[in-house]
Structure 1
Amino acid sequence: MFDTLIRDGTVVNADGLGRGDIGIAAGKVVAIVAPGEAAEARTVVDASGCFVLPGLVDAHVHLREPGLTQKEDFSSGTHAAALGGVTTVLDMPTDEPWTATAEQLADKMALAENRIHVDVGLQAVVSRDLSLVPLLLDRAPVSFELFTADVPDAFLFPTLDSVAEALKAFAGADTLIGISPGDQSILTGSSERDRSGTIAAFLDSRPPLAEANGIARALVAAASAEARIHVRQINSELGVETWSRLRGIADASVETTPQNLFFMAQDYETQGANLKASPPLRAPHDVDALRAALGAGLIDIVATDHAPHTPAEKAAPYAAFADIPGGMPGLQTLLPAMLRLVDEGFIGLPDLVRMCSTNPAERFGLGRRKGRIAAGYDADLLIVDPRRSSIIANADQVSRAGYTPFDGWTVKARLTNVFLRGREIVRDGRLVGPAQGKIVTRES
């Protein structure tokens, strides 16, 4: 007998759709039985007319704890994730302090215990003190993060030589290193040329040239060091072209974000501070190129870069546009934003699962338990009803940011139920039961 049987739904995996009833026991999917086949369960969930997807895995999230909890914390951020169908959050290491040592990583794990509504994997930062790497590896973070621009000196690797030397510290290690493709030399040079503080100056400080050079540098360094890397959010035509030409030389994957697929630099005129983040929004032709790359399968992962700030922080006066705190919320809107792309015909539901579930789970060391609906995998499941539309609204957002750039958008589907390891955690837009999330670590 199953603990739970989800009956009569259409099961969506990265490799396609199929009808089947999902049998769950002890938190795992144990069988997918033919529709109508006799099966007994303590609880039966009717999913007729609905799609059943694996829970989403957001590979780029800033939950802001420790040290920045006025912006977000483990509880509020994972609440937003649960309501958005993100059942696994991969948290970045740029809190206060940055997660740079094994002790800091252990402390962060302890902070999250009994307070997270979904599962959370933690990422560690690569500092200039490379002797810290071995002890960090022992604690099996889902990945490491290496920065090439726009960060404190202790974490800055601004040259090809420094990136290559850092990657050598991971020789033989079964891990992944995320790299944000910036260029400190361009950032420094542009700030010296233009001190006007305008939106245009901000755009010029982080041009497509910087992104493209950062991508090329990351790939060449990874090939030289035989390291596994993940290139963080790209959003320019030149960046896409560089990625498409060079991606085969290294073991590498790439991501973009929903905001980069929908918004352009001209939208700063209407949404201003709420859209300010890095990389900056681009021109229409860049968005077109990014969407084309998405449709062609050149983008491996779509993640949110969920990076909330308080409304007061965003609304305060600043001397320069570049000084506005960078980042926006995204966890609660990842699924609806991707469903909009399905509505528009750019991708299908299996593509959504591939980029937002299967690929991030596999790439970040969780691929034997997350990211697909199959026997032996965690029963992290979403029921989506295509017969009911939904509207994204600021008033419904539970992140401490208190807004979404997608406010007012309509999606031709509704997320009705979310299950985490077989337990229902969300029903009709509300949390069900206490926090049940766990810290997950990289599979050995």
Structure 2
Amino acid sequence: MTADLVINNGIVVTPDAAFPASVAIKDGKVIAVGAADAMPAAHETLDASGLHILPGAIDVHVHFRDPGYPNKEDWESGTAAAAFGGVTTVFDMPNTIPPTGNGTILAEKHAIAAAKAHVDFGLYGLLGEDTIDNVPELIAGGVIGFKLYMGNTFGKIPSPSTGAMLEAFEVVAETGKRISLHAETNSIMERRQTRLTQAGRREPLAHLDSRPAVVAVEAVSRACILSEWTGARIHILHISSADELRPLREAKARGVDVTGESCPQYLFLSTDDYSRFGGVIRVNPPVREKDNQEPIFAALQDGTIDMIATDHAPHTPEEKTRNDIWAVDCGFPGVETQMPAMLTQVNAGRMSISDYVRWSAYNPARHWGLYPRKGAIQPGADADLALVDLSLEWVVDDAKIQSRSKISPWHGRKVKGLPVHTIVRGRFVMRDRTLVAGTKGWGRSVHAIQKMPAPDVRNAGKTMRAVTNGFRPSPTTESAA
């Protein structure tokens, strides 16, 4: 057998170890990992001397704005940015135009992504008050999971009532899919923003004051209770505060199937940066006080937080530099800068490169039913690889990133450690820090390879469907009415 590609002289990184090895690839899959002299003949070889070979990162939280907002980002530019960031799989959120709330819209979005994407992808279905009945058709159409907005964010997706949220959890629990949650309590935020606006507060820190950590504490606690009751699997997005770690830890200790992510903005930015970046730093949840950073990092280390994501949320410079903070669109790009930011911490000795692989690839693949096809470098796995040079330095320049959004609080940041080559299913999509021609449309949806564990439905006899299905009032009830 002749391999398509053999990579020699690199250091293969797993969640538990880093060791010198060669990697052989054929038909898009890893076929061998081991000594160079044990590798098959190959049509092409690559000398990876000085490079670490990582499983490509899986970013479970991006907004590529397509369809609906192509001036901000589209699938071509967003996945090019992913490739430059060593990210080989992305999960895209449903707050596009139209929102991904039914099977027809999902099919249209699949077609757009398949035509443009450089890397593999999954699509979320919207779980809201008016889309609960659409869960079966979204499952049939191929969603990676569901997104439920407990609090307002870009796109103004309505937040469901707690009653509707419970019913939504009941319905999705039966499918085994995971529900990602924007866990901020909407009523608190709306009330506080109204009062702050009335008080004339329009500076960047007013946004932080409208969303104190209690909005996340309450929302995480409520979501975990509903998950525990129904058996629905949930994922807490963009953990931003030390305070929400307690309800997350307690839920995990009770056996709730809940995972969590944090993002570089909550590890490396703080209120100290508001004066420098102004509205550019506005994001939901907000960047918080510096004393939240170390507890979040420690929660990654001890497993309370399972993974790193980005909440890549691009906007135009004009939309990020308005004088009134309430008029500034929330979010900024991050899919290209996440890996360099984290590898900088590896270089600083704050964590190991195996820690990074666990948080960026292994855990996302495992918790989203993609392991061992994704998130691993072993025979049978998809050859999704990021070859990184830990000694390579870069100063982030917004003008030079692949995203259409040329404005972020990462501008001017010094990083050390960059992906040099990115391979998706055996094919180079970024090589020598250059996008490879002809890879547009190479990415494909990963929903077909997703294998979630069997559902663990709880309180099935007390669901909305169970208590209303076939119900007919008794004569006594009718007469009493």
Query: Shorter-normalised TM-score: what interval?
Result: over 0.9
Amino acid at match of 1:16: A
Amino acid at match of 1:120: F
- Matched residue, 2:12: 11
Shifted more, 83-92 versus 161-170: the winner is 161-170
* Alignment of 1:184 onto 2:199: no
User: SS where residue 3 of structure 1 aligns?
Assistant: strand
- Matched residue, 2:371: 367
Q: Give the Å deviation of 1:153.
A: 8.0
Tell me the distance in 1 between the aligned counterparts of 2:289 and 2:365: 31
Q: Give the Å deviation of 1:8.
A: 1.4
Tell me the distance in 2 between the aligned counterparts of 1:123 and 1:38: 39
* Alignment of 1:150 onto 2:152: yes
* Unaligned stretches of 5+ residues in structure 2: 452-481
Amino acid at match of 1:345: G
Tell whether the 8 Å contact from 1:126 to 1:155 is kept in structure 2 after alignment: no
Tell me the distance in 2 between the aligned counterparts of 1:411 and 1:201: 30
Q: Give the Å deviation of 1:9.
A: 0.9
Shifted more, 237-246 versus 256-265: the winner is 237-246
Cα deviation code 1:80-127 (max 9, x no counterpart):
111111111110000011100011100101112231111111111112
Tell whether the 8 Å contact from 1:13 to 1:353 is kept in structure 2 after alignment: yes
Cα deviation code 1:336-375 (max 9, x no counterpart):
0111221232221111111111111222232231111111
Cα deviation code 1:167-188 (max 9, x no counterpart):
0011321211001111122113
Change (3 A) 1:71 1:32: same
Change (3 A) 1:232 1:414: closer
Q: 2:230 aligns with which of 225, 228, 233?
A: 225
Change (3 A) 1:360 1:239: same
User: SS where residue 412 of structure 1 aligns?
Assistant: strand
Tell whether the 8 Å contact from 1:301 to 1:355 is kept in structure 2 after alignment: yes
Amino acid at match of 2:216: E
Amino acid at match of 1:259: Q
Tell me the distance in 2 between the aligned counterparts of 1:268 and 1:211: 21
Q: 1:305 aligns with which of 308, 311, 333?
A: 311
- Matched residue, 1:21: 22
- Matched residue, 2:100: 99
Tell me the distance in 2 between the aligned counterparts of 1:112 and 1:297: 33
Q: Give the Å deviation of 1:268.
A: 1.2
Tell me the distance in 1 between the aligned counterparts of 2:277 and 2:38: 52
Cα deviation code 1:220-245 (max 9, x no counterpart):
11000001110111111111222222
Shifted more, 166-175 versus 386-395: the winner is 386-395
Q: 1:215 aligns with which of 214, 220, 223?
A: 220
Q: 1:349 aligns with which of 346, 353, 357?
A: 353
Tell whether the 8 Å contact from 1:258 to 1:334 is kept in structure 2 after alignment: yes
Q: 1:202 aligns with which of 193, 207, 217?
A: 207
* Alignment of 1:323 onto 2:327: yes
**TM-score, normalization: structure 2?**
0.88
Tell me the distance in 2 between the aligned counterparts of 1:93 and 1:140: 13
- Matched residue, 2:460: none
Cα deviation code 1:18-38 (max 9, x no counterpart):
221101000000111224435
Amino acid at match of 1:147: Y
* Unaligned stretches of 5+ residues in structure 1: none
* Alignment of 1:378 onto 2:382: yes
Identity of aligned residues (%): 36
Change (3 A) 1:183 1:38: closer
Q: How many residue pairs are counted as aligned between the two chains?
A: 441
CA RMSD of aligned residues (A): 1.7
Tell me the distance in 2 between the aligned counterparts of 1:38 and 1:57: 27
User: SS where residue 379 of structure 2 aligns?
Assistant: coil
Tell me the distance in 1 between the aligned counterparts of 2:276 and 2:127: 37
Tell me the distance in 1 between the aligned counterparts of 2:356 and 2:161: 34
Change (3 A) 1:38 1:56: closer
- Matched residue, 1:166: 168
